[in-house]
Amino acid sequence: MDQSRLDIEEHLGRILKDYNQFLNCELRRYNLSKYGLDPEDILQDVRIRIWQVISERKKIFTLSAYIKKIVSSAVIDQLRKRRREDGLIHHAQQIHISEQKSIYSWDAIQKRALEETVGKAVEKLISSRRQVVKLYLLRLTIPEIAGYLNWTQDKTRNLLYRGLADLKESLKETETEHGYRSR
């Protein structure tokens, strides 16, 4: 280490040693445990600020007043940080709660039941039609499906229309078996 850094660290050590009792009194004055703040976090912030002043070679006329000021600033900064973190946690909890509510909403339950019914009906289709219908339900177009399966567009279209017709019949049968009403 170079000499100037050693001088800065030595000067910082002397200040912290000389003002240790004063720092502790200032920290106790704020009753940090009431706010859930750790005195060590505040002390670390104070050390950093004093080190910065020393390294920039700024002149401080009344060191005790300056230390009192930076302790106050550090406490306020920690309180603001805590408030921001609490706000973020609260926001995340609210999002989680709203997501949980939507999982159990009537519309979500109906949507899942419909998806399950359609999924079961699709699985009953013959293999070639099932492939095409599944890809179509994933919002692929006929040319995209044909390219994916290496089929002609005519073959793909034919299998899709037949598969959709079979699916419609299967859903009608399910509707009459279980007493579902169509919209």
pLDDT digits (tens, 9 = 90+) for 5-59: 788 888 888 888 988 898 888 888 888 888 888 888 889 999 998 888 888 888 7
- CB half-sphere exposure, 140, CA atoms < 13 A: 19
- State the Cα–Cα distance between residues 96 and 85, nearest whole angstrom: 16
Under DSSP, the state recorded for 1 is -
Question: Could you give the CA distance from residue 125 to residue 143 in angstroms, rounded to a whole number?
Answer: 21
Q: What is the pLDDT of residue 104?
A: 65
The dihedral region occupied by 36, where left means phi > 0, alpha psi between -120 and 50, and beta the remainder, is: left
Compute the distance between CA of residue 57 and CA of residue 68 in angstroms, rounded to an integer.
Answer: 19
CA torsion 128-162-133-113 (nearest 10°) is: -120
Question: What residue ranges define each of the domains in the chain, with the CATH number in brackets?
Answer: 3-103 (no CATH), 106-178 (1.10.10.10)
Taking CA 176 as the corner, what is the angle to CA 164 and CA 158, rounded to the nearest 5 degrees?
10
Q: Does residue 63 register a pLDDT over 80? A: yes
* pLDDT confidence bin for 102, thresholds 50/70/90: low
